[in-house]
Amino acid sequence: MNKKGSTFYLLLIPVLLWLVVLIVTPHLDLMFRSFRLETDEGNMIFSLNNYLTFFQDKIYWLTFVKTALYSIFVTFLAFVVTFPVAFYLTKVVGKRYSGFMTLLLLIPIWIGELVTVYGWMILLRDNGVINNFLMRIGLIKSPIEMLFTNFSMTIGLLYMSMLFMIVPMMSALDSLDDSLIEAASDLGASKWTIFRQIIIPYTTPGIVSGGIIVFMLVIGDYVAPNILGGKSSLWFTEQIYNKFLASFNWSEGAAFGFLLLLLSSTIIWIALKLTGQKLERVGS
């Protein structure tokens, strides 16, 4: 190794401080705390009790499994809903409109989740805009219960996360040379064949990085499940929130947080392995 100048250390030290103090140490603290138990005398001892609570109490691990499966489902839904849009904006619509239409996609992202989730709450209420509209045109007689169900929660999760998937898919599609599709079409390939054999393989990196972002946003979300979901749509983050801010059982909360971290990392690791991608690419 060649000798490093002082500039190198000037760059290294702030980054090292950031990563060690704010990323590594807090998560080590989280892990240690999850194995601690406060005895009746107020002493902290090593214990697996916090994890036992999780496995013994059905509601905890059921919520855990449900959150995992639901997040995968919403991620898939986000792909199905937004892929045609990404394709339309990069390959179908005239260049004149695509810039403006892409801009419209970014606005809800920057407005922020809380405001858009609140908007859906107003839309989906019993006396909300959608029920009012459906009753006005005579399609239904009494309001349909939409808010505080799994349906409203799914809408909220989808809405706040799906746009983060479009951008990486669009940049992947942008670099796909049109002549590949033209050539396949000239050789008589059907639309489905072109889609499966050319477009999907080519855009896999974009789909995977977008999918990971969506999955992380959904599995770690608190606002949409809490505001739009009902009693039946518990989310695992809500359990962590309750442990920390309602029952003040930080040790159990830490165990739950650590389990959530393990869960999301494992699913992402599997997704990366299955598709042959690297985390470094997700960033770009």
Partner 1 sequence: MIRTLPRSPLYITGYRIYILLFYIFLIMPLITICVLAFNDSNFIALPWLGFSLDWFFADTDERLGLFKDPDLLLSVWTSLQTGFLVALFSTIVGTIAALLFEQEKFRLKGLLYFLALSPLVIPGVVLGISILLSATNAGIYLEENLGINIGILAPSFWLVVIGQFSFCSTFVMLLVGARLKKFDPVLEEAALSLRATRLQVIWLITIPFLRPAIIGAFVVAFLISFSNFNTTIFLVGSDPTLPVDLYARIKFSSTPVLNAVSFMIVSFITLAAMVNFAINRNKE
Q: Count CB atoms within 10 A of the CB of residue 143.
A: 16
| Site mask for partner 1 (CB under 8 A), range 243-262, x = bound | -xx----x--xx--xx-xx-
Min dist CB 2 to partner 1, Å, is 9
Asked if 46 contacts 35 with a C-beta cutoff of 8 angstroms, the reply is yes
Asked if 272 contacts 208 with a C-beta cutoff of 8 angstroms, the reply is yes
d(CA 267, CA 255): 18
For 191, how many CA atoms within 13 A lie in the half-sphere containing its CB?
0
Residue range at the interface with partner 1 (CB under 8 A); choices 49-57, 58-66, 138-146, 219-227: 219-227
In sequence order, the 6+-apart residues with CB closer than 8 A to the CB of 236 are 63, 64, 67, 219, 256, 260
Task: Tell me if 81 contacts partner 1 by CB under 8 A.
Answer: yes
Instruction: Give whichever of 36 and 49 is closer to partner 1, judged by the CB atom.
Output: 36
Question: Which amino acid is located at 143 in the chain?
Answer: P
Task: Tell me if 264 contacts partner 1 by CB under 8 A.
Answer: yes
| Site mask for partner 1 (CB under 8 A), range 189-208, x = bound | --x--x--------------
In sequence order, the 6+-apart residues with CB closer than 8 A to the CB of 144 are 131, 134
Task: Tell me if 119 contacts partner 1 by CB under 8 A.
Answer: yes
Min dist CB 163 to partner 1, Å, is 8
Task: Tell me if 113 contacts partner 1 by CB under 8 A.
Answer: yes
| Site mask for partner 1 (CB under 8 A), range 34-63, x = bound | ------------------------------
| Site mask for partner 1 (CB under 8 A), range 87-106, x = bound | -x--xxxx----xxx-xxxx
**Which two tokens mark 147?**
């808010």
Instruction: Give whichever of 55 and 88 is closer to partner 1, judged by the CB atom.
Output: 88
Location of structure tokens 């309001």? 143
Question: Which stretches of 125-219 are DSSP H helices?
Answer: 129-136, 150-174, 178-186, 191-194, 200-219
By CB under 8 A, what part of segment 17-36 binds partner 1? 18-19, 22-27, 29-30, 33
Residue range at the interface with partner 1 (CB under 8 A); choices 44-52, 58-66, 80-88, 137-145: 80-88
By CB under 8 A, what part of segment 158-177 binds partner 1? 159
Report which secondary-structure segment, H or E, holds 46. strand 44-46
Task: Tell me if 76 contacts partner 1 by CB under 8 A.
Answer: no
- For the chain, what's the residue count? 284
Min dist CB 88 to partner 1, Å, is 5
Task: Tell me if 181 contacts partner 1 by CB under 8 A.
Answer: yes
**Which two tokens mark 88?**
């339309």
Instruction: Give whichever of 207 and 240 is closer to partner 1, judged by the CB atom.
Output: 240
Instruction: Give whichever of 16 and 65 is closer to partner 1, judged by the CB atom.
Output: 16
Q: With CA atoms as reference, report the closest residue to 128 among 141, 147, 109.
A: 147
